[in-house]
Amino acid sequence: MQATLCKKLAELYKKHEYVYYKLDTYEKSNFDKIRSGILQYEITKDALVDLSKYLKSYHRNKCIVLIDEYDHPLDVAYRYQYYKEACGFFASLFGALLKVSTFSTFLDCLHRIVQIMT
């Protein structure tokens, strides 16, 4: 699951590579780490928040983040008995996104993420 998530985040960062040139040195370092596709928990858990900030800064407008089927990794985690660890990670990943000034909409099973975060 972690490898797949890191690969998807790396692809997402590569898709929005155009913002890279407006970042400072520290932000570029974090951008490069996510783009590498290697899991680094403290950086990966903030990947969506950071990218939404980069996009907001670049476009000078808030971005909208749509997350679909976020519950699938939790179902897999439950089946393979690492649900608690996955809940903590995804609560950090999505919870941080909700705390920034980004409009976030979760499609499909919204009640599940609320349960995880409480």
Q: Does this model's pTM top 0.75?
A: no
Q: How far apart are CA 101 and CA 84, in angstroms?
A: 28
The string of pLDDT tens digits covering residues 32-88 is: 999 999 888 888 888 988 999 999 999 998 877 777 777 787 888 888 888 888 888
- Report CA torsion sign: 1, 116, 106, 61: negative
User: DSSP letters of 39-86?
Assistant: --HHHHTTHHHHHHHHHHHHHTS--EEEEESTHHHHHHHHHTT-HHHH
The ranges assigned to domains in the chain are 2-117
The string of pLDDT tens digits covering residues 21-32 is: 999 999 999 999
Structure tokens at 52: 């939404």
